[in-house]
Amino acid sequence: MAVLKFNDLSKISGKEREEKLKELKQELIKANVSANKSGKVKVKEIKKAIARILTAQRQTQK
């Protein structure tokens, strides 16, 4: 998974953000299952990416 920058997220459309959010949520579930094996760093990065997407969505709604 590539690191998502906020500037990049503000440039993409709402539908693309929704799709990316769904993908990240699925990836988070998979990462939580395998967190004991791979560590929690990946889980933390995914959560940050989800937060960035949600923040971008809220700013466009205002």
Q: What is the pLDDT of residue 26?
A: 94
pTM reported for the whole predicted model: 0.80
Residue 4, phi then psi, degrees to nearest 5: -95, 125
Q: What's the CA gap between 57 and 13, in Å, rounded?
A: 10
- Give me the torsion for CA of 58, 20, 1, 45, rounded to 10°: 30
Q: Is residue 16 part of a domain?
A: yes
Q: What pLDDT does 38 receive? A: 65
Q: Domain with 45 in it: what CATH number?
A: 1.10.287
Residue 26 within any structural domain of the chain: yes
Q: Per the domain annotation, does 55 fall within a domain?
A: yes
Q: Is residue 28 part of a domain?
A: yes
Q: Is position 1 within any domain?
A: no
Output the pLDDT for position 2. Answer: 60
What residues make up the domain containing 14?
6-61
Angle at Cα 11 formed by Cα 8 and Cα 17, nearest 5°?
Answer: 80
| Domain count across the chain | 1
Position 40 in a domain = yes
Indicate if the alpha-carbon torsion angle 10, 12, 17, 20 is positive or negative. Answer: negative
pLDDT digits (tens, 9 = 90+) for 10-50: 788 889 889 999 999 999 988 888 877 667 888 888 999 99
